[in-house]
Amino acid sequence: MKKELIEKAYEIAKERYAAIGIDTDAAMETLQGVQLSLHCWQADDVKGFEDAGALTGGIQATGNYPGRARNIEELQADIEKVTSLIPGKHRLSLHANYADFRQTGIVDRDQLEPKHFESWMQWAEKCGMKLDFNSTSFSHPKSEDLTLSSPKEDIRKFWVEHTKRCRAIAEEMGRRQGDPAILNVWVHDGSKDITVNRMAYRANLKKSLDEIFEQKYDNMKDCVESKVFGIGLESYTVGSNDFYIGYAAQKGKIVTLDTGHFHPTESIADKMSSLLLFTPEVMLHVSRPVRWDSDHVTIINDETLDLTKEIVRCDALDRVHIGLDYFDASINRIGAYVIGARATQKCLLQALLEPLKTLREYEAAGKGFERLALLEECKSLPWNAVWDMFCLRNGVPVGEEFIADVNEYEKEVTSKRC
């Protein structure tokens, strides 16, 4: 795209926004500081490198588009490609089943140590990327319907040990990168059919979490992710929203809100201002549920816009960690990353360009018509010219130009994987 055209459009947009009291350069500066936590698992349909077989835990990556990453080198190459097409600096969120066993030999999940992620840490440092981490209690022979909440003590202990080790790995990542690594704990635990032991399993989960979190760390942060239901686990989810909100509020832990893990018309955006009053920070898994937790690629839609606006309206950019979580195996996977990450950033930019001061003045004065009118007008202000300028300044493709880059990478790299 012509540089002059982008600059011209930006100058006009800048003036247009200035007229409503918005500094577009300041908005871009703020956006520059927001690091998304890119999920490693879009590249390979959540398979990981343990050769564990089918994806379990009630989640599903549907589609069979060719070219998924089959090993660490391919996954790293894909992530490097993705980040070259997204403005700004971002983090990578690894799952525990993506350990590198090439130097160490394979160990089970209750034996994982930082050394199994050494090559990831070195690679991340080389790329200037910080890491986040996730325990993995699915896709494993000991992954029964219940893991951390299991009444079978050997099973429960195995997963407690696994999760403890994940915290130690996150601590090492955080120490090395000089910035806490976020450890997300999501377990699928639940029941397909009616259970008459809801309380007992939840008590087990609480006990397990207490054991897991006993050790204090300085370079990692814990978060817990709830869910409504998983496939084959439709009747009961041990780690429900109420369970984790209660737990996190009591213990000072972070709640992970996955936008696909609530009832279809429930507003996740509305949860921000409540959670932020009672828990230290919030972690997000930005996704796009279509009828269920389908993990479609994130796009600009009302849900994502509402969410980013709430973060900005709560003045909470420094307390909210924005991770992505979707896995679409039906389209080019690199493209899926780029679309979702850029869409999230575009929503954030629109949030940052909101004339909040004026809107709040209207609201305080009871001027409902004026507030609604300005909110409506904002929707069609030239935020996209600011976005184009943001991409230009970051040296990444502007507008739809990245389609050609993704296709080129497919031609040269991913199409050769079989």
Shortest distance, position 33 Cβ to ligand RNT, whole Å: 25
Integer angstrom CA distances of residue 412 from 44, 280, 406: 18, 45, 10
Applying CB under 5 A, which residues contact Zn ion?
258, 285, 325
- Whether 258 is catalytic: yes
Q: Which of 285, 296, 333, 371: binder of ligand RNT (CB under 6 A)? A: 285
Burial class of residue 231 in the structure, from the number of CB atoms within 10 Å of its CB (0-12 exposed, 13-18 middle, 19+ buried): middle
Residues 16-45 that bind ligand RNT (CB under 6 A): 41
Cα 142 to Cα 46, 110, 156, 317: the distances in Å are: 18, 11, 10, 38
Active site residue 120: no
Q: Look up 179 and say whether it is catalytic.
A: no
Classify the C-alpha dihedral 47-52-54-60 as positive or negative.
Answer: negative
Which CB atom, from 24 or from 143, has the smaller least distance to Zn ion? 143
- The nearer residue to Zn ion, 281 or 410, going by C-beta atoms, is 281
Q: Which does 222 bind (CB under 5 to 8 A by kind): Zn ion, ligand RNT, none?
A: none
41 binds, among Zn ion, ligand RNT, none (CB under 5 to 8 A by kind): ligand RNT
For residue 360, what are the CA distances in angstroms to 7, 27, 130, 228, 357? 31, 18, 36, 35, 5
Which of 325, 354, 388, 410 binds ligand RNT (CB under 6 A)? It is 325
Amino acid type, 126: K
Q: Which is nearer to ligand RNT, 41 or 362 (CB)?
A: 41
Is 379 catalytic? The answer is: no
State how far the alpha carbon of 233 is from the alpha carbons of 186, 238, 252, 391, in Å.
14, 10, 29, 43
Please report how close the Cβ of residue 57 comes to ligand RNT at its closest, in angstroms.
7
Residue among 180, 176, 187 at smallest CA distance from 217:
180
From the list ligand RNT, Zn ion, none, partner contacted by residue 134 (C-beta under 5 to 8 A by kind) = ligand RNT
Q: Rule CB under 6 A: is residue 227 a binding residue for ligand RNT?
A: yes
325 is catalytic: yes
Nearer to ligand RNT, 323 or 335 (CB): 323
**In this complex, which beta carbon is closest to ligand RNT, that of residue 37 or of residue 350?**
37
Supply 245's token pair.
Answer: 């909100």
Exactly one of 285, 309, 321, 346 is catalytic; name it: 285
Query: Residue 261 catalytic?
Result: yes
* Beta strand residue intervals within 186-262, DSSP E: 190-191, 220-225, 236-237, 254-258
Residue type, 255: V
Q: Which residue stretches of 289-382 are H helix?
A: 302-313, 333-352, 356-364, 368-379
Catalytic residue, candidates 39, 47, 164, 227? 227
Question: In this structure, what DSSP letter does residue 213 have?
Answer: T
Pick the catalytic residue from 78, 100, 172, 293.
293
Contact 41, 95 (CB under 8 A): yes
If the CB atoms of residues 78 and 325 are measured against Zn ion, the closer one turns out to be 325
Q: Show the site string, 153-182: x = touches ligand RNT by CB under 6 A, - = not.
A: ------------------------------
CA torsion, ordered 213, 215, 218, 222, to nearest 10 deg: -10
Pick the binder of ligand RNT from 186, 217, 236, 247 (CB under 6 A).
186
Q: Which of 307, 311, 305, 316 is nearest to 383 (CA)?
A: 305
Catalytic residue among 162, 164, 261, 346: 261
- Active site residues per annotation: 186, 225, 227, 258, 261, 285, 293, 295, 325
- The residues that touch ligand RNT, with contacts defined as CB under 6 A, are 41, 46, 59, 134, 186, 225, 227, 258, 285, 293, 325
